Amino acid sequence: MITVEEFQKLKDQLESAKRQRDMAAGALDEALKILKQRYKCSTVEEAEALLAKLKEREARLLKSLASMEKKFQDKWQHILEQL
């Protein structure tokens, strides 16, 4: 048989868990709202797909930048060495 004190402790733990759940749900709602406003994503899956595309674009741009930097160095190295 459970005592009154044990029952009260369980009840308090349950209330605490409910508050934490509500806070987490609110945080999730806010995060989804931001995703929708800023990035036009309605779901986490859409946001992950967008992130993957952006990472691919970043990699392509970094590769292009490195190529352009090498061409610049090759073309102007002799002048840069004189500076």
How far is the CA of 70 from the CAs of 1, 22, 33, 44, in angstroms? 79, 54, 43, 39
Quick one: pLDDT at residue 33? 96
pLDDT of 2 > 90? The answer is no
User: Structural domain boundaries of the chain?
Assistant: 1-40
pLDDT of 83 > 90? The answer is no
Counting every residue written for the chain, the total comes to 83
* Cβ atoms 47, 41 nearer than 8 A: yes
Quick one: pLDDT at residue 39? 94
Say how many C-beta atoms besides its own lie within 10 A of residue 47's C-beta.
19
**CA 1/CA 63 separation, integer angstroms:** 70
pTM (2 d.p.): 0.66
